[in-house]
Structure 1
Amino acid sequence: MSAPPHRSAHRSEPQAGRGGFGRLLRAEWTKFRTVRGWVVTMTAAALVTVLFGLLSAAGNHASCGAGPIEVACPPPLVGPGGEAVDDKFYFVHRPLAGDGGITVRLTSMTGQIRKPDVIPGQRNVVPGVVPWAKAGVMIKESTRQGSAYAAVMMTGEHGVRMQHDFTHDVAGRPGGVSRQSPRWLRLIRSGDTLTGYESADGTEWVQIGTATLTGLPQTVQVGMFAASPGDLTVTRGDLGGSGSAARFTETTGEFDQVMLQGNASGAWRNDDIGVIVAPDGSAHHPGRAGRSGGTFSVTGVGDIAPTIEGTTPERSLSSALIGLILVIVVAVMFITAEYRHGLIRITLLAGPRRGRTLAAKALALGLVTFAAALPAIAITFTAGGRILRDNGNTVLPVSLLTQMRIVVGMAALFALAAVLSLALGTLLRRSVAAVITAIAVIVVPHVLATTSVLPDSAARWLLRLTPAAGFAMQQSIPQYAHVLGHYAPTAGFYPLPPWAGLAVSAGYTALALGLAVHRLRRRDA
């Protein structure tokens, strides 16, 4: 007779549980919005993020020289994918109508590198090629900078590669090139598909890869090229950190056994793509080419690759640290104020399941923080980028998806930092101690890693192993394996991918919240 009432109570328990958590969530939200100090401080965090971000952007000015006058810097060169690129090389080419290709034998690759001067006033130039120096064959949409292309090349230290449209890189066989051990290179067009091959003897060919360049015109340019990016020198600062400088280099490729397939008519043309012209009309570090019978010598400078030089669009978000500190203060006070005034007993009386009560408090705080941070970061990022460009800065372009990831990801980082601070407040129960601890584990590692205080290796490990890893969400320009660069935190590059960095921050937050729940259950209020 008593069984039916017992089953009815058992079925209604989950419904009460769900309603109970919603009630707790509403109670925590009501608690937050009715304390004027918390609302004012959270609003101030959003306003400070915007205000200091826009002021920071307004203080960044840049100009470029044009003879005796200064002018606005030109916008960055953009490749087919919308990314900023370098497209500077020497090109010996002919028009190719329709399908066809080119086959060459590369017999040597030499060059020179400008090193730091040993004797003041005396140029220190040494023979050699840099690791990503390039010499090979190319099919390019046109000689216009930034136009689509595919190339098969020999590099200084990375063997044979096939690259296309600046960001794509496929490795061929490793090794070098010499007259005793030449390298055969081949690039074939069939419609919009270009296929690269290599051979050690010109008889047995190995396919490296293919590239699909949609929208290629009927007539393209086919030929031989050479390019040589600057020699990167990284120096350590007196207080830690590092700086970098790129010095002039050039590379010369020697080609013979040049064979064209298809309708490649007309005479060979020499073009120094992207050469810098001084105000007096002279070329700065020009390339060159020579021909003796069937042997071509092509010397080039510059690079054909994505560029990482310029102002990144997240520059204005440096002010986010100030807003984040205010968020930390609010988050800690959201729990420690209850301990200080003895209100925690009432909170736990209303929600006797302590873990659920703390989870509701954390969710309410996280949602409030995310809602406040999202528009603040969006305004700072968008308006700050516009101000940087208006002030003459060359701001590197990024895709809409990347912009959305930065804005949403940084708002999520704010929310995680708030919940982590709440957990520390629960564990320590002292406002000052919890605020200092939260700043020490979230803000301080980022400051130390990005302000030339620590060596690069220590800075990278700090941003891998602390909650500050989540700041990787604001990195807009990726690290390219085929572009030599100073990929250090001081230059805006983080050791973890954006979402992996945020996952580290989320992991610390979950761990701290779990410890807080455990302690709350085992300790009297």
Structure 2
Amino acid sequence: MTLAYGWRSLARLSRAEWTKFRTVRGWVLGMAVAVLVTVGLGLFSASGSHSSCGGPSDVCPAVPLGPGGEAVDDKFYFVHRTLDGDGSITVRVTSMTGQIRLPDATPGVRRVVPGVEPWAKAGVMIKDGTRQGAAYAALMVTGRHGVRMQHDFVHDTAGGRSGVSQAAPRWLRLTRAGGELTGYESADGTRWAKVGTARLAGLPAAVQVGLFAACPGDLTVRQADLGGAVAALRFAEATAVFDNVALRGGTSGGSWRNDDIGAEREPDGAIHHPGGATRAGGVFTVTGNGDIAPRADGQMVEKTLSGLVAGLIVVIVVAVVFVTAEYRRGLIRTTLLAGPRRGRTLTAKAAVIAAVTFAAGLAAAGVTVPLGAHILRANGNYLLPVGPLTDLRVVAGTAALLAVTAALALALGTVFRRSAVAITGTIALVIVPRILATTSVLPVEASRWLLRVTPAAGFAIQQSIPAYPQVTAFYSPQAGYYPLAPWAGFAVSCGYAALALGLAALVLRRRDA
């Protein structure tokens, strides 16, 4: 009975607060301005972003998509044969070397140094043909990450940590049983340890099996003069030597076939940075460049929300004034007389401002994200594709972040009673850390720290593309990658709002109106 009365009381107070909000024209207009600012600045920014592929006669190169619909890099050198049905491939990798091209010290004189990239990879692969983006599973040795089993671009399983050399070669075996592919490693070719299993749905009977080598570019990150970081990716390639190659199962006769998968071609048809393979007896030497991994090069859909910060400032002002105006005009006494349980009154006020802000944010993001994405694509920009659930999270998560920030601002307004102090405090907690972390002002680690421990962590809810540990990329806040997972970052913002509301309720109970 008490619980039912409490809910009825809260509902009554919420209706009263809603009536109060909608009858004050300035507050309603403020929310409308927040929507218009978010939409207007977002679409203006999208319309000003153009790619060299934006002309009507330009033909943009197609970006391969993986089995899950994600954009991928699928570039490597493949020495392969056809496997029909179940079977296996076993090899011994005796060495992996590489080279990296550095900026030319003298114009026209190439400067190449020896070196193996940490995610350089070479090993055995079973792939659904040679089409870029086709399903695959691969067992490999890497430059500095030991033995790995990877499949369908986004999946990565660690094996042994040992590297490979002539003194310490590594045996690899990849087996197929229907759609199940299993990788094993061994130090001596006798005792085998399972690395992992991949289950590839819809894998046809006839697939390609063989040896491969790939190497992403050499990533260097240096401190910028203003405190941020500058990343550069330079060409690199890897060479692996294989022997004791053994195939079992329904392999076709004839010689091995060589393919430079995903090779880019010059205007004259020649391959730009070709890989290669040689065979002397039973020893294969394979050289490759590129990567087999999720693609990190492209714009993310949340970039359309560039006007959110401006819109959020307007929301903060409205949320603070929603409570401080009553203190300024002396109406808070009337409000508290209507709801003697002050904590419940504060809850009703927070619920109303959060609900109104969520609705406004949903309208703003729901218009800006799809329309901004359309404008970016029309201008020739490549947007990294995401699924409908991710799109929904970006839109609804943006609205939820606005709502939580509004509740935080209302709580600070209750604590400080002064609009200027509460607005400044909320902006200092939410907006300033986000700007400092994403505009190359601070060192990368300092930026990540800010986005872990401040309410600005909640902006992670907008991140549509995850950071993959097996990808060589500059995953930094400046590039749109947050240190916390989307819901974890949002939880940090919720925690701050809950603490602030708790403090506001305590202050409201202990002092006079």
Whether TM-score is above 0.5 comes out as yes
Aligned to 1:138: 125
Rounded Cα–Cα distance in structure 1 between residues aligned with 2:383 and 2:208: 31
Whether contact under 8 Å (1:74, 1:394) holds in the other structure is: no
For the residue of structure 1 that corresponds to 2:109, the secondary structure is: coil
Aligned to 1:308: 296
For the residue of structure 2 that corresponds to 1:71, the secondary structure is: coil
1:232 aligned to which of 193, 203, 219: 219
Superposition pairs of residues 477-496 of structure 1, within 5 angstroms: 477-496=465-484
1:500 aligned to which of 479, 484, 488: 488
Rounded Cα–Cα distance in structure 2 between residues aligned with 1:65 and 1:363: 45
Change in Cα spacing, 1:15 to 1:130, as seen in structure 2 (3 Å) is closer
Rounded Cα–Cα distance in structure 1 between residues aligned with 2:59 and 2:374: 14
Moved more, 339-348 or 110-119: 110-119
Aligned to 1:343: 331
Whether contact under 8 Å (1:134, 1:154) holds in the other structure is: yes
Displacement of 1:373: 0.7
For the residue of structure 1 that corresponds to 2:321, the secondary structure is: helix
Q: Does 1:410 align with 2:398?
A: yes
Q: Does 1:86 align with 2:84?
A: no
Aligned to 1:420: 408
Aligned to 1:472: 460
Rounded Cα–Cα distance in structure 2 between residues aligned with 1:263 and 1:17: 73
Q: Does 1:510 align with 2:498?
A: yes
Rounded Cα–Cα distance in structure 2 between residues aligned with 1:109 and 1:18: 69
Aligned to 2:360: 372
Q: Does 1:456 align with 2:444?
A: yes
1:392 aligned to which of 380, 393, 405: 380
For the residue of structure 2 that corresponds to 1:202, the secondary structure is: coil
For the residue of structure 2 that corresponds to 1:189, the secondary structure is: strand
For the residue of structure 2 that corresponds to 1:308, the secondary structure is: coil
Aligned to 1:256: 243
Aligned to 1:356: 344
For the residue of structure 2 that corresponds to 1:101, the secondary structure is: strand
Rounded Cα–Cα distance in structure 2 between residues aligned with 1:160 and 1:176: 8
Segments of 5+ residues of structure 2 without an aligned counterpart are none
Letter in 1 for 2:207: V
Rounded Cα–Cα distance in structure 1 between residues aligned with 2:246 and 2:335: 83
Whether contact under 8 Å (2:53, 2:381) holds in the other structure is: no
Rounded Cα–Cα distance in structure 1 between residues aligned with 2:62 and 2:395: 24
Letter in 2 for 1:106: V
For the residue of structure 2 that corresponds to 1:123, the secondary structure is: strand
Whether contact under 8 Å (2:125, 2:209) holds in the other structure is: yes
Aligned to 1:332: 320
Superposition pairs of residues 212-227 of structure 1, within 5 angstroms: 212-227=199-214
Displacement of 1:124: 2.4
Aligned to 2:264: 276
Letter in 2 for 1:100: G
Letter in 2 for 1:455: P
Superposition pairs of residues 237-248 of structure 1, within 5 angstroms: 237-248=224-235
Displacement of 1:147: 0.2
Q: Does 1:447 align with 2:430?
A: no
Whether contact under 8 Å (2:413, 2:422) holds in the other structure is: yes
For the residue of structure 2 that corresponds to 1:60, the secondary structure is: coil
Letter in 2 for 1:74: P
Number of residues of Structure 1 aligned to a counterpart in Structure 2: 512
Rounded Cα–Cα distance in structure 1 between residues aligned with 2:464 and 2:222: 25
Segments of 5+ residues of structure 1 without an aligned counterpart are 1-10
Whether contact under 8 Å (2:54, 2:379) holds in the other structure is: no
Cα shift readout 1:343-390 (whole Å, capped 9, x = no counterpart) = 111101111111111110000110111011112101111111111111
Rounded Cα–Cα distance in structure 2 between residues aligned with 1:101 and 1:443: 56
Aligned to 1:5: none
Rounded Cα–Cα distance in structure 2 between residues aligned with 1:516 and 1:56: 38
Moved more, 172-181 or 409-418: 172-181
Displacement of 1:115: 2.4
Displacement of 1:65: 11
Rounded Cα–Cα distance in structure 2 between residues aligned with 1:15 and 1:303: 61
Rounded Cα–Cα distance in structure 2 between residues aligned with 1:454 and 1:356: 42
Cα shift readout 1:203-239 (whole Å, capped 9, x = no counterpart) = 1111111111111111110110000000001121111
Displacement of 1:117: 3.9
Q: Does 1:21 align with 2:45?
A: no
Displacement of 1:16: 3.4
Rounded Cα–Cα distance in structure 1 between residues aligned with 2:122 and 2:229: 31
Aligned to 1:63: 52
For the residue of structure 2 that corresponds to 1:250, the secondary structure is: strand
TM-score, normalised via structure 2 length: 0.98
Letter in 2 for 1:40: L
2:27 aligned to which of 34, 38, 42: 38
Change in Cα spacing, 1:72 to 1:510, as seen in structure 2 (3 Å) is farther
Query: What is the root-mean-square deviation in Å for CA atoms of aligned residues?
Result: 1.5
Letter in 2 for 1:46: V
Displacement of 1:128: 1.4
Rounded Cα–Cα distance in structure 2 between residues aligned with 1:76 and 1:394: 9
TM-score, normalised via structure 1 length: 0.95
Change in Cα spacing, 1:32 to 1:75, as seen in structure 2 (3 Å) is farther
Rounded Cα–Cα distance in structure 1 between residues aligned with 2:41 and 2:60: 25
Whether contact under 8 Å (1:76, 1:395) holds in the other structure is: no
Aligned to 2:41: 52
Q: Does 1:204 align with 2:195?
A: no
Aligned to 1:6: none
Whether contact under 8 Å (2:54, 2:381) holds in the other structure is: no
Rounded Cα–Cα distance in structure 2 between residues aligned with 1:352 and 1:65: 62
Letter in 1 for 2:77: Y
Superposition pairs of residues 143-162 of structure 1, within 5 angstroms: 143-162=130-149
Moved more, 31-40 or 474-483: 474-483
Displacement of 1:462: 0.6
Cα shift readout 1:114-158 (whole Å, capped 9, x = no counterpart) = 124445553321111100001101110000000000111110001
Change in Cα spacing, 1:120 to 1:457, as seen in structure 2 (3 Å) is farther
Rounded Cα–Cα distance in structure 1 between residues aligned with 2:3 and 2:278: 83
Cα shift readout 1:470-518 (whole Å, capped 9, x = no counterpart) = 0001111111111121111001010111111111101110111111111
Moved more, 72-81 or 342-351: 72-81
1:318 aligned to which of 287, 306, 323: 306
Rounded Cα–Cα distance in structure 2 between residues aligned with 1:351 and 1:65: 60
1:175 aligned to which of 162, 171, 180: 162
Cα shift readout 1:26-66 (whole Å, capped 9, x = no counterpart) = 00000000000000110111111111111111111102499
Rounded Cα–Cα distance in structure 1 between residues aligned with 2:316 and 2:422: 9
Rounded Cα–Cα distance in structure 1 between residues aligned with 2:348 and 2:218: 55
1:292 aligned to which of 280, 288, 307: 280
Rounded Cα–Cα distance in structure 2 between residues aligned with 1:120 and 1:276: 24
Rounded Cα–Cα distance in structure 2 between residues aligned with 1:344 and 1:353: 13
Letter in 2 for 1:228: C
Aligned to 1:163: 150
2:115 aligned to which of 128, 133, 141: 128
